[in-house]
Each structure stands twice: as C-alpha cells, then as structure tokens.
Chains A and B, each alone.
Chain A
Amino acid sequence: MIGSYVRDELRDYLKRIPGLEYDLLIDSWSKPLPEGFRVNTLKLPEEYILERLRKKNIVFRKIPWARYGYILEREFELSTTVEHMLGLIYLQGPVSMSSVEALDPKPGEIILDMCAAPGSKSTQICQLLEGKGVLVANDPVIDRCKALSSNLQRLGVYNVVVTTLDGRAFPKIVGELFDRILVDAPCSSLGIVSKDWSVVRNWSFRNVIRLSRLQFQLLRAAFDCLKKGGILVYSTCTLTVEENELVVYNLLRSRGNAYIEEVKLDGLKYEEGLIEWNNVKLDSSLSKSLRIYPYHNNAEGFYIVRIRKGG
C-alpha cells in the first residue's frame, strides 16, 4: 500500500543505496512502530517503577542497547497512565534511545543537546548525568521549546538550561565549553515513515540538499564548541547519504582533528556506514558509523556516528 506513495525519484534513490533492501524497507514502513519507554530513575528506583507497571498488567521487555529502556509486548495506552503524567516513565522509540547511548554522558559533564525539542534525548542525557553536571537543551523554535520545557519538568530535571539559540551561533558565544554534544539534526525523516506517510509523499532531493547544508553547519558549529578530547554524536532519523555520511565527510575534510570512533550497542542490528557514494571514495573511517534501517530492529531507522575532537 505505502509502496504506491513512493514516487519514482525516491524509489530510484533508495535502490541505489548499497546494502539497503528496498522491499524490506517498504514492508517495514507499512507496519506500526513498536512502543518503547524509558523508566526515569531521576524520580524513583527502576525496579519500583517497573513493579507498578507489572501490577497494571503491562507486559514489556528490556531493550538490550538502552539503559532503562523497554518495549511494550502487548498493546497498552501508556500515555494515559499516572506513571506517564508523573514522569516516572517517558515514551520514546527504542532506536531513538541509541543516540544518547552512543554519546554515553558521564555524571559531572557539561553537555549540549543542540536540537533538543521535544526533549526525549535531553531527558535521557539528564538521567545518565544523575543530577551531576549540566545540560544545555537548545532549540531555536520557541513553540517547540514548550514541549521541551514540559518534558524536562515532568521528568524532574534541575541541572538544565533551556536556550533558543540558532545552533550555529554556539561557538561564538561559548567557545570550547562542552564535554559532549548531541546533534540530532532536523532531517527528511525517512526512518520514521511508519509514523507519518506524508514524509514519503513530500520527499524531494532538493529538500535533502537544503537540509544537508544546514546539517553540516550545525555539525561544524557543534564540533567547534567541543572541548579538546570531547565527544560529539551526530544522528538523524533518515537514510539519505547526503544527510548522513556526506555531512560527516565534509566535517572530516574541514576539521583535521575530527576522528570517528566505534559505537558499541548491545543487540542493535545495523549496516556499516558507506565509504563510497556516486563513485566517489569517502573516508574509510565512515564505516564505523551506523546505518540502522527500520527492518533491522523492527523499529525506527537512524544514522549514528560518534566523533572525537583531537588535541
């Protein structure tokens, strides 16, 4: 059914991506995404919250690659539970949790979430900070910051500053301030088509190129305000090479002290990042980045890369 929404331009593009199984992708787009949630240990112990859910006959299983992450095994309207409203749990896609796991925040660090709204990854970062250190949760669109602020409040985050800066302005304002930075960039969203089929209908290569320019500017700015030795994770929920490997390749070319590191996430299935596109050889270290297709884990599609800033 969804296959009929895919225009020739997109179909031809996707079929050119090495290793991408087009039929499996179309099939996965027609299925609903699994409901994932995170238990918020900033408020109460994990087991206490899980026990409350079990008493409500909520059936779930652990997500191996995400600390405190679970997937519902039987349908349940979690968003109308007291636990959700009180911030004891946070509804979040299972693969979406992997970007923050790749970032691996440590208590005491100063961290920037450059494109933070609606706050799924910001609240996850704060959980891993355990109340020590600081998160700057930034989003330039004030309307989106309402959801961000509400979610940070609901989950009980106190070590946070919410800003509404254009991400590209950070280096000029703060210099090399951050120990770790997450750039979960705005993208063409081909990894989450199951949520919204209009993504496919409205897709155009011209828009991909426009986004790609913005993504590179955001990534470069993030790199420039990272401390030496700091870690940057760049992620998108899309599949195009122009928004993923090529953005990172451009950073590697423009910043000689940017190095890609391996990401190890238990049980997460993925393809290695591409090291060649359109007959152009890219940097071989891009193979350490992760292309996660929706059919790999029966969940969202993502691209994740972890970059270290050398001295």
Chain B
Amino acid sequence: MKILNISERKILEELLYQQHGVRETFKDFILIMGGEGKIRATTVETIEVAKKLRKVLQTGLYVAKYRKNKNEVFLSIEGSQILNNQISKNIVELDEEECREWMHGAPICVSINTDSRYIVGKMDKIYLGSARVSRDGKLYPQIAVWRRLPEE
C-alpha cells in the first residue's frame, strides 16, 4: 500500500485541473497508488484499521488511473461520481440511449470540440467515468469488462 505523497498528489491535481477543471482533487481522501497506475481513495481511519490487519487484499475505492509514460489520467465511474459537479471541462452530456451504449463499452459518436485525450460522460446527475477520444472523434468509454451491460 503506497500512499501518494504531496508531490505525487500535485501531479494528479494538475492533470485533473487541466483536463477537467477540477480544483479540489479528492481533498477529503487519502490516495493510494496500486498496480497498473490505479489510484484508490480512502479515509485516514480506514488506513489506520488496515495497518492493524493482515492479508489485506485491497483498501478503498478505485477512482482513477494514472499513466506515467503518457502523463495522463482518467477517472473511473466512481471517481467521476465523487468529483461530480467539480468537473467543468471536457464533459459530455448523454441521453438514455447513449448512456446504454457507453455502458456497453461501445464507441460513441458525439460531436465535441476538445483537444483532450479523455472526456467524462454524464447523464443528468449520473457520472459515467472517462472515455478516450480517438482521432476520428469517437469516444471509447473506459468501462471494465465486468462492468459492461450484457449484449441484448
């Protein structure tokens, strides 16, 4: 369990500010770096309890993934839901049908003017995590396979 230090947090904060205009990145949480750049959020109290235990499989909630080599970050569904209305940039509003497509993990065609590699999906008050923006303008939602809606 590696807790992000101040400078590592700063990198994440700057990235999320540039990408999504987020000013307070998970400010009430302790952030932990896991394997494959996965960042988990939890509380001080939870860390204290975890330290007393053995055979800890995981602590906290997966909120974002940091790709050091590309210096980019994208948000999980839960990460974007926690940040919710702090996300002011590179966000796309979807309707019910587009939301279902997003949750299938299928590429989505929506017109959006951005130079960001990642964009957050949203339907009303529901945040759907990040999608990668491809060169042809399609959005590729970063939904884990286990989380996708089954094919109809």
- Pick from B59, B99, B128: contact of A161, CB under 8 Å: B59
Residues of A within 8 A of B45 (CB): 110, 133-134, 159
A154 CA to B59 CA, complexed, in Å: 14
Count B interface residues, CB 8 Å.
37
A-B contact count (CB 8 A): 96
Q: Which residues of B contact A177 (CB under 8 A)?
A: 49, 52
For A174, the chain B residues whose CB sits under 8 A away are 52-53
Given A44-B126, A110-B49, are A86 and B56 also a contact pair (CB < 8 Å)?
Answer: no
CA distance A193 to B45 in the complex (A): 40
Nearest Cβ on chain B to A90's Cβ, whole angstroms = 14
Q: Which residues of chain A in 173-228 are interfacial with respect to chain B, using CB atoms and an 8 Å cutoff? A: 173-174, 177
Q: Does residue B27 face the partner (Cβ distance < 8 Å to A)?
A: no
Choose one: B53, B125, B149; the contact of A85 (CB below 8 Å).
Answer: B149
Contact between chains at A163 and B52 (CB < 8 Å):
no
Does A164 lie at the interface of the complex (its beta carbon under 8 Å from any beta carbon of B)?
yes
A82 vs B123: C-alpha distance in the bound complex, in angstroms? 11
Residues of B within 8 A of A17 (CB): none
Partner of A173, one of B50, B54, B76, B103: B54
Main secondary structure of the interface of B (DSSP, over half): mixed
A136 touching B81 in the complex, CB below 8 Å, given contacts A153-B62, A158-B61 = no
How many residues from A make CB contacts under 8 Å with B? 34
Q: Bound complex: CA of A60 vs CA of B74, how far in Å?
A: 37
Q: Within 8 Å CB of A163, what residues of B?
A: 53-57
Indicate if the CB atoms of B148 and A85 lie closer than 8 Å.
Answer: yes
Q: Restricting to B74-119, which residues have a CB under 8 Å from any CB of A?
A: 76-78, 81-82, 96, 99-100, 103
Contact A165 B46 (CB under 8 A): no
Q: How far is the CA of A161 from the CA of B82 in the complex (A)?
A: 19
The residue in chain B whose Cβ has the minimal distance to the Cβ of A83 is B126
Contact of A158 among B41, B55, B56, B148 (CB under 8 A): B41
A165 and chain B: residue at smallest CB distance: B55
Given A86-B77, A158-B43, CB of A136 within 8 Å of CB of B49: yes
Interface pair B126/A86, CB less than 8 Å apart: yes
- Which residues of A lie under 8 Å from residue B99 when comparing CB positions? 82
Q: Tell me, rounded to whole Å, the shortest Cβ–Cβ distance linking A227 to chain B.
A: 13
Docked pose: A177 CA to B99 CA in angstroms? 43
Alpha-carbon distance A242/B51, docked complex (angstroms): 37
With both beta carbons as reference points, the residue of chain B lying nearest to A153 in the complex is identified as B62
Interface residue ranges of B106-152 to A (CB < 8 Å)? 125-126, 128, 146-150, 152
Binds B, one of A67-75, A142-150, A246-254: A142-150
Task: Check B58 for interface membership: any CB of A closer than 8 A.
Answer: yes
**Interface-centre pick from B77, B99, B152 (highest chain A CB count, 10 A):** B77
**Is there contact, CB below 8 Å, between A158 and B49?**
no
Among A86, A160, A165, find the residue whose CB has the most chain B CB atoms closer than 10 A: A86
Minimal Cβ-Cβ distance residue in A for B150:
A80
**A-side interface residues toward B, CB under 8 Å?**
43-44, 48, 80, 82, 85-88, 110, 133-134, 136, 142, 145, 149-150, 152-154, 156-165, 169, 173-174, 177
4 closest Cβ pairs, A-B complex: A158-B61, A162-B57, A161-B50, A134-B49
